[in-house]
Structure 1
């Protein structure tokens, strides 16, 4: 039996409805819409996508900042649970079920205990930036992964993105070396500052093997933090084909799954 939307032979002999004469306003609007979509250059389209991604990352950062502030106001310890700091929906879906596994539960307890028992300036990066890499670069947007080892431990350096430091902070030697390689290989100019947020927004996942650091317990952080790197790299390779992974020799020796 034919569906209600299908035509019969007699439908083709029905008198066509009278066409309305297009007005000048209608013609102008139609031409404007066509021209607007067809005249966008590749650079303009990329800029639109970049602005959307930047807005999403700022929204995620705002949520994390508000959650940390809320816990500091309502709790004596002032620390938020680790899983509450990952707010990017695409990564929550990609890592669905991981936060209930024993290794992540143990890691979360370890990090939360350190944050709650330490001074604000002795644990880095700040709480709201612990998952900054994932919250800034959505899972479906990842084009390349640059793996670092530990968060920078200098005052004001760590911002949750591997090799990146906020503007106004001296560019670390490790990042200077990256800039030099880019100039030598691709002719890129060397920036005067080391904030790599624009890279992250454009699809470069800047991930450290260790989520957090503590000036007094660096080795303990390494032992606990490495456990989360394997599922992250596994999911990225399994569900995103053609990804480029960049890391140093010491990380290359590790089993990343």
Structure 2
């Protein structure tokens, strides 16, 4: 069986730049070395740091931020995997849901959300399901993948819709049994995520894919955010367009979202 891939697996770290050639002028490097060799106070260090930052292009800054986010996402995924491995070594069948949400920014935004009674009941339900004979999707370490790989402060767009990327209204399901985990407790949790984004951020694009997702518009302050509603048929056209099929309408819808960003 092919191993599960996450969003971060499709991105490679950017090629490293030569620091001496790109960021720090040679004159500053010489001055720094000279000062250090004479055991004099390094008065140029702060100036070099400031100069290096100011010399970065927009593209370089964007690349640095992306690499930082990518490293953080990989760290979070590894932390989840390690917790699951440790639980198995200790003879435990399942790691509690509250231990699988590890991104610090979301823990601050959703304080004690997974400690609420509905969430504890949900955790017990998922644990029972995962101990059964029918495979549960996604693997446990990827249940909160959308949150663990996307810090709250970097959210610019949210796609909501069961069966599509980024944020499903229900985060687990029995393999090949659509909606099998619906109305078991996931809906209040994803509602809390959406409400937190709506309340604490501004100018986020919400793409609501399908009728079920469009019901979530009641949680979003339309005076602060942008909402794009799509019927499920248009979603399939969008996917065709995104994957390279000749579907101009789909490309136009994607362009609308990009233009708002």
TM-score normalised by length of structure 1: 0.63
Change (3 A) 1:36 1:239: same
**Consecutive unaligned residues in structure 2, runs of 5 or more:** 1-30, 36-41, 220-261
SS in 1 for 2:95: coil
- Match of 1:207, SS state, is coil
- Higher relative contact order structure (alpha carbons within 8 Å, sequence separation ≥ 6): 1
* 1:205-241 CA distance string (max 9 Å, x none): x211111110365333122232322111111101112
Q: Greater CA deviation, 220-229 or 206-215?
A: 220-229
Q: Which residue of 2 aligns with 1:142?
A: 155
Q: Superposition RMSD on alpha carbons, in Å? A: 2.5
Shift of 1:117: 2.2
Distance 1:87 1:230 in 2: 19
Within 5 Å, give how 1:147-186 maps onto structure 2: 147-150=160-163, 162-163=164-165
Aligned to 1:210: 170
SS in structure 2 at match of 1:247: strand
From 109, 112, 116, the equivalent of 1:94 is 109
Residue in 2 that maps onto 1:80: 95
Tell me if 1:237 matches 2:253.
Answer: no
Contact 2:161 2:213 in 1 (8 A): no
Whether 1:246 aligns to 2:214 is no
| TM-score, structure 2 normalization | 0.62
Shift >3 Å, 4+ stretches: 22-35, 216-220
Range 104-113 or range 131-140, more displaced = 104-113
Q: Please say if residues 73 and 150 of structure 2, whose CA atoms lie closer than 8 Å, have aligned partners that are also in contact.
A: yes
Say which of 133, 139, 146 aligns to 2:146.
Answer: 133
Stretches of structure 1 lacking an aligned partner (at least 5 in a row) = 1-21, 151-161, 164-205
Match of 1:189 in 2: none
**Could you tell which deviates more after superposition, 97-106 or 134-143?**
97-106
Q: Which structure is larger by alpha-carbon Rg, 1 or 2?
A: 1
Residues 39 and 116 of structure 1, relative CA distance in 2, 3 Å threshold: same
Q: C-alpha offsets along residues 137-193 of structure 1, whole Å, 9 cap, x if unaligned?
A: 01111111111303xxxxxxxxxxx43xxxxxxxxxxxxxxxxxxxxxxxxxxxxxx
Q: Label 1:215 to 1:44 Cα distance change in 2 as closer, same or farther (>3 A).
A: same
SS in 1 for 2:131: helix
- Aligned with 2:160: secondary structure? strand
Q: Is contact 2:158-2:205 (8 Å) kept?
A: yes
Give the whole-Å Cα distance in 2 for the aligned partners of 1:149 and 1:61.
22
